[in-house]
Structure 1
Amino acid sequence: MIFSFSRLNLYESCPYRFFKKYVLGYEEPTTLPLALGKAVHKAIEDKINGVQHREAILNGLIEAEFHPEVTAEDVSFLVSRSNAKPGMGKTEIHFILPLDDTEDAPMLQGYIDLVFNKGMAITDWKTNRVPYHVLDNHQVGLYAWAMNKLYLVPYVVGTLYFLRFKKKSSHCFMPADMEKARLWALGLANEINERMELYGMIPEEATRIFPSKPSSHCKHCPFAKECLRTFVTI
């Protein structure tokens, strides 16, 4: 399995939801926030790459597969708040890197929305309705670590840009910050691999190997009812 921040974060939030989605392969419905995020990210990417605003919005709607709750007006509004300009940087930079130097190291991949200043600055656009601090999770720290590996830069200024509020949260990630994020990812990836191996030996113990972790996230989880039925009987 190739890991990503979102996969690791989901596992940390709830091992059982991770198991259902990434081990058993159950598809989750495309929610409005997810579809809107896809549309807006695509449209911003296009604008930076020189596409006119109207066409960029249409491409965003196509990217979201014309989700019935995603409107052109909402996408246009959020994109206009990004101040995206042609040529402001490289978009959707994809990376796949080993999390350590061992032969069988877990692999981490990601897509960075915007990279500029020769890899020393990155931005991730957010359509969230609630902003948060860039250090509240390890996403940007991992992206900074990837920039350090790919561009050999000594530091990376990482920014979350919350479009609804035109609000930035930035931090200058030094090697110690990058290492903290890498160790978080490596620890979880190794734990998941160990549990996957255990599940392969005793699949009947899946719910004990990947237990649920009730939290506020449950109200958005498509497996919540099944989870309740499963774990109240254990």
Structure 2
Amino acid sequence: MIFSFSRLNLYRQCPYRFYNKYILGKEEPVTKPLALGKAVHQSIDDIINGFSHEEAVMNGYAAAGFHEELMHQEISNLVERAPVRPNMGKTEVYFKLPLSERHNAPEIQGYIDLVSPDGAITDWKTNRSIYGVKDNKQLALYAWAISQEIDIDRVEGILYFLRFRKEKGKIFSKEEMEEARRWALDTADEINERLELLEIMPKGTDRLFPTKPSRQCGHCPFAGHCILENMIVIPPG
């Protein structure tokens, strides 16, 4: 399995949801927030790459499959809040890297929204709340990836919250990027070990990929099964 931050983070949030989505391959519905994020990201990328605002918004709307809950104006309003200009950097920069020098080490892949000529990275956020750069490992892990690609020891990472026109940034040191890499490696190794155990104990799913009740349960399509089969109580909030 090739990992991504979202896969690793979902496993840490709830191993059971990870198992259903990525091991069993159960589809999750495309919610409005997911569709909106995809539309806005595509639109911003297009503007940086020379498209007009209106062309970019229409391309974003199409990329989100013209999701029935999306409004053209909502996409446009969020895109207008992005501090972007044509040719300000490379967009949707793809990476795939081994997480260690170990033979058959797990690999991680991802897309970085924007990489500036000096190596700074930006991640556009359509969230309805603001959080800190260090609240999860995503930006530090992406910083590590770009440091490997262009061989630099310090990387500036920026989260830009479009709804609030608010920027949260940090310059990641080599040590901080290494910490994120080790988190990713440890998580990937744990997943692989549990998958190996599952082959030996095919009825051990509940122990190897247990439910982990949290406020995230309200957004999980598998929460109903948890409640009915495992008598899980979803925390309020």
Question: Given the two structures, how large is their TM-score scaled by the length of structure 1?
Answer: 0.97
- 1:196 alignment partner in structure 2: 195
- 2:64 alignment partner in structure 1: 64
Question: Residue 118 of structure 1 contacts residue 151 of structure 1 at CA under 8 Å; is this kept in 2?
Answer: no
Cα offset for 1:117? 2.8
Distance 2:175 2:82 in 1: 30
1:25-84, Cα deviation, whole Å (9 max, x unpaired): 000000010000000000000000001111100100111000011111000000000022
- 1:151 alignment partner in structure 2: 150
For structure 2, the 5+ residue unaligned runs are: 233-237
Question: Residue 4 of structure 1 contacts residue 109 of structure 1 at CA under 8 Å; is this kept in 2?
Answer: yes
Distance 2:163 2:91 in 1: 21
1:102-144, Cα deviation, whole Å (9 max, x unpaired): 111010001000001332x000000000011111110000010
Cα offset for 1:11? 0.2
Match runs of 1:113-152 below 5 Å: 113-119=113-119, 121-152=120-151
Matched, 1:89 2:82: no
Report the residue type matching 1:93 in the other structure.
V
Distance 1:88 1:111 in 2: 17
- 1:27 alignment partner in structure 2: 27
Report the residue type matching 1:171 in the other structure.
K
Question: Residue 45 of structure 1 contacts residue 91 of structure 1 at CA under 8 Å; is this kept in 2?
Answer: yes
Question: Residue 148 of structure 1 contacts residue 154 of structure 1 at CA under 8 Å; is this kept in 2?
Answer: yes
Question: Given the two structures, how large is their TM-score scaled by the length of structure 2?
Answer: 0.96
Q: Quote the RMSD (CA, aligned, Å).
A: 0.9
- 2:218 alignment partner in structure 1: 219
Matched, 1:8 2:4: no
Distance 1:84 1:58 in 2: 17
Question: Residue 199 of structure 1 contacts residue 206 of structure 1 at CA under 8 Å; is this kept in 2?
Answer: yes
1:152-195, Cα deviation, whole Å (9 max, x unpaired): 01210000000000001000001011011001101100000001
Matched, 1:162 2:161: yes
Matched, 1:110 2:86: no
| Percent of matched pairs sharing the same residue | 56
Which segments of structure 1 move beyond 6 Å, counting only runs of 4 or more? none
- 1:210 alignment partner in structure 2: 209
Question: Residue 92 of structure 1 contacts residue 113 of structure 1 at CA under 8 Å; is this kept in 2?
Answer: yes
Question: Residue 122 of structure 1 contacts residue 158 of structure 1 at CA under 8 Å; is this kept in 2?
Answer: yes
Cα offset for 1:232? 2.9
